[in-house]
A = this chain, B = another copy of it.
Amino acid sequence: MKTEKISELTTNRLSVYLRCLNELSEEGAKTVSSGKLAKRFHLNSAQIRKDLACFGEFGVRGVGYYIDDLREQITKILGLDKDHRVGIIGAGRLGMALTDYYGLTQSNFEVVALFDADKKKIGSTIGGVEVFDFKKVKQVIKKEKIDVAVIAVPAEYAQKVLEEVSKAGIKAVMNFAPTPLQASSDVKVKSIDLTISLESLSYFLAQP
């Protein structure tokens, strides 16, 4: 497997393919060709074949892909056969909304703790998830076996939060604070800037 050269765009597309295959499977389909998959879900069939070819030979000549087999393979490739335990730092509206969002969406990510510095919030629960004192973040991360941290604090606190969770052994971080973060090389930070998404709509609206 040539995994070291796989880009994030490829893995994002694999996530999309998996959703499509799940839908087909629910409808009772057993096999699908890259062409049919592309047509049904507005994807690109050459891209599908190229992306999957990075990980092995999944297609069968004259048949296409066996749906359940391919789902299982993609699930393994994306590491979705393992459960992950998520801690969200920041129990403001964004942190609460994310707790809801991930609670409602079926996935192998379970939000098991929220963290905040606000004494009024500490000890309360949101959607069944307890809000812990951020001062105890290291102990709770260890005790709750949290392996993914989501940063949902104001921009000025984000770097400090990243450093604290890194010290606690977290290797995967999703950052919602609208500021670039400096992480050590063994920690993967994925930043979601919701303003950039709006700006690409702005570009579209600016076209004649």
Contacts and interface: CB of A to CB of B under 8 A. Distances in A.
Interface of A: 3, 6, 8, 11-12, 14-16, 19, 41, 77-80, 82, 84, 86, 92-94, 96-98, 100-102, 104-105, 107-109, 147-148, 154, 171-174, 178, 180, 188, 190, 192-207
Given A93-B96, A93-B100, A97-B94, A190 B200 contact: yes
Nearest to A20: B180
A205 B84 contact: yes
A110 B94 CA distance: 18
A107 to B, nearest CB: 5
A105 B201 contact: no
A172 B105 contact: no
A183 to B, nearest CB: 11
Given A12-B200, A200-B12, A201-B148, A206 B79 contact: yes
Contact of A196 (B6, B12, B101, B197): B12
Contact of A147 (B92, B109, B205, B207): B205
B96 A199 contact: no
Contacts of A78: 199, 202-203, 206
Nearest to A76: B206
A81 to B, nearest CB: 9
Nearest to A41: B180
Nearest to A126: B93
Contacts of A171: 204-205
Nearest to A171: B205
Contact of A206 (B82, B94, B204): B82
A3 B208 CA distance: 10
